[in-house]
Chain A
């Protein structure tokens, strides 16, 4: 079973718009990570947020974590065509599980 569940499954936006993806999980965690996967490639780590943090920024990425709701969101601001990829959350508690991902398409 998957620990992290991303929502939406697919998202299509225009270049320059913001993209928001959500992740829900079921059990307590130590931290939560977000990864990106370009088509035909392996996953690449984007950002890690610890369970005692509420928000974290890295460049155009903003991640929030609400442990009371067991949810996290990834915001990509001013999206670019190169951001087209699948995005996965991975939770890290007693076990580490990846969700099924959100497929983001950014149209030029």
Chain B
């Protein structure tokens, strides 16, 4: 999706924190999402944040939203090998349409 940008690759050591960044362009988006895709599988919702929030924490996941800069980030604490996957940032409108970024491949090394 050309309106949502994210870096394509991230390598992180097991036990460290991972931070995946995303920028979006549509200021009218009501929700912003992070999805995880494991090899050969569909997309699984990890977490989402409402556009009037700055931060959301859910166990090892922390989402930060800077609405002024249209910047979204996902922090994974204590990254595990099972966190290796592609992570997609997405913005959604009220009509059920989602705009996805190209995905960030996260590789966790021992």
Verify that A and B bind, or say they do not.
Answer: no
